[in-house]
Amino acid sequence: MRRNRKISLLAGTATVVVAAGITMLGMGPANAIANGEAVEEGKYAFSTKLTMTGIPVAGGGTRNSACSGALISAQWIITAGHCFRDENGVRVERPVAASTVATVGRTDLATGTGGHDVEIVAVRQSATADVALAKLATPVKDVKPLKLGKRAPEVGDTLRLTGYGSLTSTNPVPATHLQTGQLTVESIQDATLGLKGLAPQADTTPCPYDSGGPFFRESRWRAPELVAVVSNGPSCPHTEVESPARTDNLARWIKDAIRG
């Protein structure tokens, strides 16, 4: 998981739901992706905010949290596997919170009225990467899903990220407006990529609550293609290596899982 997401686990331990809500969802300005930029209204509509309330924690009590993700079919969201962990920190194939709601197709969560808020009813976990699929209770039919890429990126490629995470690791707060930034591929491993910030700044990087946010290729001639999802990295902002989970080599598993 993202190194800075440990804040979520520690803050939530042995708290009641009201206290957890204050700790996890925070108070103050809400931004996303350190040193990113706001997304234009209606762009990258496949981007998804996952809001979890009432997650059990070891020793009793609950915590609240959030992740990012992307719509990849009418009824499935892709996100990070560690967004669905039980009270022992083990990834599980089920919603762990009392309620997990996916907000799809709404750029500004504070003032926007479009898009959809749909409950998550099932989860599928990859056996080889920090990747999960989350099933929506009802299909979203008016938002074009993000296309699944089947081709691995190359060193030097530029990938775009979208997410609803915090601006910083210090007192993190989930976003109210979708943010974006670009990173460059530095290395390629079996299950992960090595990325570094590119634009708008060299330290444009994912933050807490960006976990599961999509990294995708863009082209003038083709629709955006999913390459990876936010998984792990240093506290943001940073100029070190970010380590998202690859999805291009999971395309067959993803298609089989959402058809089953």
pLDDT, tens digit, for every residue of 72-98?
999 999 999 999 999 999 999 999 999
What pLDDT is attached to residue 23?
A: 33
What pLDDT is attached to residue 8?
A: 37
* Stretch among 8-17, 59-68, 116-125 having the lowest mean pLDDT: 8-17
Omega prior to 244 cis, within 30 of 0: no
Q: How far apart are CA 98 and CA 56, in angstroms?
A: 8
Helix (H) or strand (E) holding 62: strand 62-73
Token pair for 2: 């993202």
Average pLDDT over residues 208-230: 96
Average pLDDT over residues 201-222: 95
Helix (H) or strand (E) holding 18: helix 17-25
Question: Residue 67 to residues 158, 165, 189, 198: CA-CA distances in angstroms?
Answer: 23, 7, 24, 23
What pLDDT is attached to residue 220?
A: 87
Question: Residue 22 to residues 88, 98, 139, 171: CA-CA distances in angstroms?
Answer: 22, 17, 32, 11
The fraction of the chain above a pLDDT of 90, given in percent, is 81
Q: How far apart are CA 102 and CA 69, in angstroms?
A: 9
Helix (H) or strand (E) holding 7: helix 6-12
Check pLDDT > 80 for residue 179.
yes
Q: What is the pTM of this model?
A: 0.88
Computed over every residue of the chain, the mean pLDDT equals: 88
Token pair for 76: 């499935």
The CATH number of 147-250 is 2.40.10.10
Token pair for 208: 């807490």
Span 188-203, pLDDT tens digits? 999 999 999 999 999 9
Q: How far apart are CA 232 and CA 256, in angstroms?
A: 26
Average pLDDT over residues 146-164: 97
Question: Residue 19 to residues 2, 149, 173: CA-CA distances in angstroms?
Answer: 23, 41, 15
- Of the candidates 107, 75, 259, 82, the residue with the CA atom closest to the CA atom of residue 175: 107
- Tell me the domain boundaries of the chain: 3-27+45-136, 147-250
Reported as a pLDDT band with limits 50, 70 and 90, residue 2 is low
Check pLDDT > 50 for residue 49.
yes
Check pLDDT > 80 for residue 59.
yes
Average pLDDT over residues 106-127: 96
Q: How far apart are CA 24 and CA 39, in angstroms?
A: 24
Which residue shows structure tokens 């058809």? 259
Name residue 7's amino acid.
I
Q: How far apart are CA 47 and CA 77, in angstroms?
A: 9
The CATH number of 3-27+45-136 is 2.40.10.10
The fraction of the chain above a pLDDT of 70, given in percent, is 88
Q: Rounded to a whole number, what is the largest CA-CA distance in the chain? A: 53
What pLDDT is attached to residue 5?
A: 40
Q: How far apart are CA 150 and CA 249, in angstroms?
A: 6
What pLDDT is attached to residue 26?
A: 34
What pLDDT is attached to residue 170?
A: 86
What burial class does residue 67 get, using C-beta atoms within 10 Å of its C-beta: 0-12 exposed, 13-18 middle, 19+ buried? buried
Q: How far apart are CA 28 and CA 95, in angstroms?
A: 28
Check pLDDT > 80 for residue 31.
no
Check pLDDT > 70 for residue 15.
no
